[in-house]
Amino acid sequence: MKIGKARVPYLLLLPGFAFLFTFFILPILNLAQTSTQTPVKGGDTGEYEQSFAFSNYINAFVDNKEQFGRSFVYATLATILALAIAYPLAYAIAFKSGKFKNILLVLVVAPFFTSFLLRTVAWKQILGEEGFIVPTLRSLHIISEQTTLTSTAFAVVAGMTYNFLPFMTLPLYASLERIDPRTIEASGDLYANGLTTFRRVTVPLSMPGVVAGTLLTFIPAAGDYVNAAILGSPNTKMIGNVIESRYFKIVDYPTAAALSFTLMAAILILVTLYIRKAGTEELV
Amino acid sequence: MSNDAISARGDLRLTRITKSYGDFNAVDDLTLTIPKGSFFALLGPSGCGKTTTLRMVAGLEEPTVGSIHLGDTDITTTRPYQRPINTVFQNYALFPHLTIFENIAFGLRRRGIKDVKEQVDKVLSLVELPHLAGRKPTQLSGGQQQRIALARAIVNRPALLLLDEPLGALDLKLRRQMQIELKWIQREVGLTFVHVTHDQEEAMTMADTIAVMNEGRIEQMGSPADLYDDPETAFVANFLGQSNLIKGKIEGNDGDNLVIDLFGQKISMPKKRSHAVDNSMYAGIRPEKFRISRTGTPTRGNTLTGGHIEDVSYIGVSTQYVVAMPWGQELMVFEQNDDGVAPFDKGDEVVISWEPTFTFGLRGDEDIEAGTEVNPEEPAEE
């Protein structure tokens, strides 16, 4: 019975591990294997053989530098915008909403009741010629008669910001809500005015939420292709779009695999540097 | 005006303060002066308004009516960060993201003080924890956090230091030790301390002056000895220690004394210790002031006969007796175990006597249960 008890944790781990092994580790290994293949000479389209062509990585990166750069720029912009919108929102829900707290939290999550795709298509309508935004901006002479908003980088970043906003808001709310209001009072008691209290106490104490929220936004945003596909144009293609078309349209599996790995590595490195910089190892 | 407030010094004066939440007055027309340099305690049960009063002094709440002055400066609406007042919060409220050093330095840095390091080191030595400067608050024990919270407040040398149930989260032994230390530190630094507590023993140990609060008002104010020896209301008599309150009737005068009839037995007490407004009154006697002797033996002072021992509890330094009196009341008697006399047994016929000067008189229309039902060990309000 004693040995049995010691094994319980491993038994509990087993289903999750088996699942991840089958559906994550094996495919990743398969992907790694694919990434260094080259086409079979004289073979059919989509027929590849292993030749350890690590040059695939260099070619894939060099050919798609632009899309890589765009992915990280768009993802960074969307993350910053989402943080700028979500922080005041989460702050208000955590500290100022009183009895409306739960309703507001449900509203934050409410978009998830509709399909991700549908919501993104809706943004196309909102930003389109027949939406209310373009005519309003035109009549106010903020944009010219010729300017459109769809098929632009603006539309892609706006769509991503919108789609990932709840992922930013919820962790921020959770960390703000956990702050002991007495520490805020103590700061005021110790000669800090409202702004200083916010900078010196509220923001540092909400850092775990900021880190979690920005990661939950940035990582999926960097690999996203739906927003660029629906709201963008060929000039706003992100790396996700390239991978998608390499796989499903051009049937160039090795390049797609090499790009996937490069994206993964880039995100891992950036995230590691970010967490180091944010100095919150103990908080995450 | 707000710039003057930070350098205000002097007595703290609360004038006709009321704080209402809807129909409920948490603090009700309270007027109070706390002299500079004193150790003042606001004592009362949960919900009596003591914490609300403290928060208004700190600037965390604004009074509905009334004014607060520090010396000659009106600070009623001054923002907390502009008051020369610091608070030791109930759960310490240390900043979890800052080291102990930075926690203590917080107030100094906000005011642009130059020799931060020197001052923080000094106050850390005062609370005897200089080795913890580099730690984070979560790495400290409750008692250590308590001292750091105190250090964080007194390093600013405020005109007024507010302590909100500062020892409530500590265990009994540590609490007793911290009481002595707090008192010592107050003498050492010479600041005005205003201490809010529901623990009467804590208030009596530390404070020079205690204001007993009940239902948003001050019941009585005075030195611990005054309050204990001559309570003016049943609430004070019961909340500070225990009291025997016996229904009586004032029969007449005998010089400086009153002659009182307690269920047919005559006693006397000093006139100036009676707070009765007419002939009807309660005579109050603390349990340890009673002497107990066997029926038939001679007695001194006031005497009540016809009692018998109902219950005996031996608790080391003293023995507590419950004595049933002929009129049906049970009196509490504490006897020191210092005379070598064998204790009484249940059922023994006894006489109770006491010095007349120990008697205090309360109004006859008082609720003699007031202040007895509150559990002093209850967690604080909110």
Residue ranges covered by each domain of chain B:
2-229, 242-363
Most B CBs within 10 A among A191, A199, A203, A281, hence the mutation to make, goes to A191
Q: Six-digit token pair at A110?
A: 């409410």
Does the domain at B242-363 match CATH 1.10.10.10? Answer given as: no
pLDDT given for residue B376 in this prediction: 47
Query: Rounded mean pLDDT of B244-270?
Result: 93
| CA A153 remoteness from chain centre | 16
Q: Determine, for residues B81 and A189 on separate chains, whether the beta-carbon distance falls below 8 Å.
A: yes
CA distance, residue A271 to nearest chain B CA (Å): 22
pLDDT given for residue B190 in this prediction: 84
Q: Where are the domains of chain A?
A: 55-283
Cβ(B44)–Cβ(B210) under 8 Å?
no
Cβ(B280)–Cβ(B313) under 8 Å?
no
pLDDT of B324 strictly over 60: yes
Chain A residues touching residue B137 (CB < 8 angstroms): none
Of A160-164, A170-174, A192-196, B2-6, give the lowest mean pLDDT range. B2-6
Residues A22 and B343: their CA atoms lie apart, in Å, by 82
CA distance, residue B218 to nearest chain A CA (Å): 26
Chain B residues touching residue A200 (CB < 8 angstroms): 106
Most A CBs within 10 A among B51, B61, B88, B110, hence the mutation to make, goes to B110
Does the domain at B2-229 match CATH 3.40.50.300? Answer given as: yes
Q: Determine, for residues A192 and B110 on separate chains, whether the beta-carbon distance falls below 8 Å.
A: yes
The mean predicted confidence, pLDDT, of chain B is 90
State what percent of residues in chain B have pLDDT above 70: 96
pLDDT given for residue A180 in this prediction: 93
Q: Determine, for residues B106 and A190 on separate chains, whether the beta-carbon distance falls below 8 Å.
A: yes
- pLDDT, one tens digit per residue, over B73-90 is 999 999 999 999 999 998
Judged on CB neighbours under 10 Å (0-12, 13-18, 19+), B48 is: buried
pLDDT of A280 strictly over 80: no
CA distance, residue B84 to nearest chain A CA (Å): 9
Chain B residues touching residue A205 (CB < 8 angstroms): 95-97
Residue B252 CB contacts under 8 Å (≥ 6 apart), including other chains: B258, B259
pLDDT of B148 strictly over 50: yes
Task: Name the amino acid, one letter, at B211.
Answer: A
Closest Cβ opposite residue A189 in set B58, B91, B111: B58
For residues B119-130, one letter each, b for 16 or more C-beta atoms within 10 angstroms of the residue's C-beta and e for the rest, the string is: bbeebbebbebe
Of A101-110, A139-148, B16-25, B96-105, give the lowest mean pLDDT range. A139-148
CA distance, residue A171 to nearest chain B CA (Å): 18
The chain B residue lying nearest A188, using CA atoms, is B81
CB contacts < 8 A, A to B, total 62
Residues A202 and A86: their CA atoms lie apart, in Å, by 15
Q: One fold for both B2-229 and B242-363?
A: no
Q: Determine, for residues B97 and A193 on separate chains, whether the beta-carbon distance falls below 8 Å.
A: no
**Is residue B197 very low, low, confident or very high in pLDDT (cuts 50, 70, 90)?**
very high
Task: Name the amino acid, one letter, at B287.
Answer: P
Closest Cβ opposite residue B110 in set A183, A190, A204: A190
Closest Cβ opposite residue B95 in set A183, A188, A207: A183
- pLDDT, one tens digit per residue, over A168-216 is 999 999 999 999 999 999 999 999 999 999 999 999 999 999 999 999 9
pLDDT given for residue A187 in this prediction: 96
pLDDT of A248 strictly over 80: yes
Closest Cβ opposite residue A205 in set B90, B97, B106: B97
Closest Cβ opposite residue B89 in set A182, A193, A196: A182
Residues B159 and B192: their CA atoms lie apart, in Å, by 7
The mean predicted confidence, pLDDT, of chain A is 91
Q: Six-digit token pair at A274?
A: 């970010």
Query: Rounded mean pLDDT of A257-275?
Result: 92
Q: Determine, for residues B79 and A189 on separate chains, whether the beta-carbon distance falls below 8 Å.
A: no
Q: Determine, for residues B93 and A205 on separate chains, whether the beta-carbon distance falls below 8 Å.
A: no
**Is residue B222 very low, low, confident or very high in pLDDT (cuts 50, 70, 90)?**
very high
pLDDT given for residue B97 in this prediction: 93
Q: Determine, for residues A190 and B89 on separate chains, whether the beta-carbon distance falls below 8 Å.
A: no
Chain A residues touching residue B89 (CB < 8 angstroms): 182, 185-186
pLDDT of B159 strictly over 50: yes
**Is residue A279 very low, low, confident or very high in pLDDT (cuts 50, 70, 90)?**
low
pLDDT given for residue B168 in this prediction: 79
Q: DSSP state, B274? A: B
Q: Determine, for residues B91 and A180 on separate chains, whether the beta-carbon distance falls below 8 Å.
A: yes
Chain A residues touching residue B150 (CB < 8 angstroms): none
Alpha-carbon separation of residue A138 from A131, A148, A169, A195, B265 (angstroms): 12, 10, 32, 37, 100
pLDDT given for residue A284 in this prediction: 38
CA distance, residue B112 to nearest chain A CA (Å): 10
What is the interface pTM, i.e. ipTM, of the complex?
0.81
CA distance, residue B97 to nearest chain A CA (Å): 7
The chain A residue lying nearest B156, using CA atoms, is A190
Q: Which CATH number fits domain A55-283: 1.10.10.10, 3.40.50.1220, 3.20.20.110, 1.10.3720.10?
A: 1.10.3720.10
